[in-house]
Amino acid sequence: MLLKGKVAIVTGATGGLGKAIIHKLCKEGARVIGIYRSQSLSAEKLQAVLAESGFEVSFYKGSVYDEVFVANTVNKIIEKYNRIDILVNNAGITRDAFLPQMASKDWKDVFETNFEGAYICTREVLPHMLKREFGRVINIISISGIIGKEAQTNYCASKGAVIGLTRLLSRKYSQKGIYFNAIAPGLIETDMIDHLPDNKRTGIINSTNLKRVGKAEEVAGAVLFLSSSLSDYCNNTILTIDGGMLR
C-alpha cells in the first residue's frame, strides 16, 4: 500500500473528482478527511460505503475560503491524528461568461473558492507539514488555466493564479520536504460539465487526441502518483490529464 499511515485532506469531497480521489487514497491505506460545502447526503453515503469496506474517512462541511472553519477543521484533524501528510486542493466552481458580461459577484465567487480556498487550506496545513518536514500538496487546476478557454474568464484566471501559487510555494518549501504539484484535467465526466451543451462538448472532445472525455478515476490515479513515493522526483510539476488537448 502506497499511503499506509498517511493522513490526507481532500476538498471538494462530494464532487465527481473528490469522490474518486478519496476512494483511491483510501484504497492505498490513507486515512482521509473530506471537506465539502453543501451535499451532506452525498457525504453520508460516501462515508457509509467506505466504512463498510473498512476505510477510515471523515467529512467536514464548510467552505474552503472560510478561514475560521478551515482553521478549526485542521485543529480537529491534528488533535485526532497529530499529522497531515497530504492536501488535495480540489474544491472548485465555474460561473462562465466573457469579460464584458461578467458579473462582479461571479468573478469574486469563483476566485474565493478556486484560489482563496486553495491558499487558505494550504496556509493552515503548512505549519503542521513543516513540523514533520513532510508534505505533499496537490492543486487541482484545469487545462483552461493553462491555455485559456472561451468564456471561462474568471475560472481560467483563478486556476492560473493557483499555478502561480504552486510554483512559488514549491520553490520556497521543497527543501523542507514539502512538495507542491498541480494537476490540470481536461474535460472529465462529472456534475461540473453537466450544463455543457452537446455541440460544445463535442467540440472539446474533437480537440483531444483521444477523442473522448476523461474519467474521474483517471485524475484520481494522477493524484495518487503525486501523493506517494512514486513521484519523489516531481516538484513544481503541472501534470496535464486531458487526453492530449490540441488547442
Ligand X SMILES: NC(=O)c1ccc[n+]([C@@H]2O[C@H](COP(=O)([O-])OP(=O)(O)OC[C@H]3O[C@@H](n4cnc5c(N)ncnc54)[C@H](OP(=O)(O)O)[C@@H]3O)[C@@H](O)[C@H]2O)c1
Contacts with ligand X by CB under 6 A lie at 11-18, 35-39, 63-65, 90-93, 113, 117, 140, 142, 185, 187-188, 190-193
Of residues 18 and 135, the one with the C-beta less far from ligand X: 18
Q: Provide the β-strand partners of residue 245.
A: 208
Of residues 65 and 179, the one with the C-beta less far from ligand X: 65
Catalytic residues: 155
Q: Compute the distance between CA of residue 97 and CA of residue 43 in angstroms, rounded to an integer.
A: 30
Long-range contacts formed by 228-235: CB under 8 A, 24+ apart: 228/2, 228/3, 228/28, 229/2, 230/2, 231/179, 231/181, 234/179, 234/181, 235/170, 235/174, 235/179, 235/180, 235/181
Of residues 39 and 207, the one with the C-beta less far from ligand X: 39
Q: How far is the CB of 118 from ligand X (least distance, A)?
A: 9
Residue nearest to ligand X (CB): 15
Radius of gyration of the chain (CA): 17
Q: CA dist 151 to 155, 205, 206, 219, Å?
A: 9, 17, 19, 24
Helix (H, G, I), strand (E, B) or coil at 122: helix
Q: How far is the CB of 160 from ligand X (least distance, A)?
A: 12
Q: How far is the CB of 231 from ligand X (least distance, A)?
A: 19
C-beta of residue 37 within 8 angstroms of C-beta of residue 107:
no
Q: How far is the CB of 143 from ligand X (least distance, A)?
A: 6
Residue given cell 516538484 in the structure block = 235
Of residues 44 and 191, the one with the C-beta less far from ligand X: 191
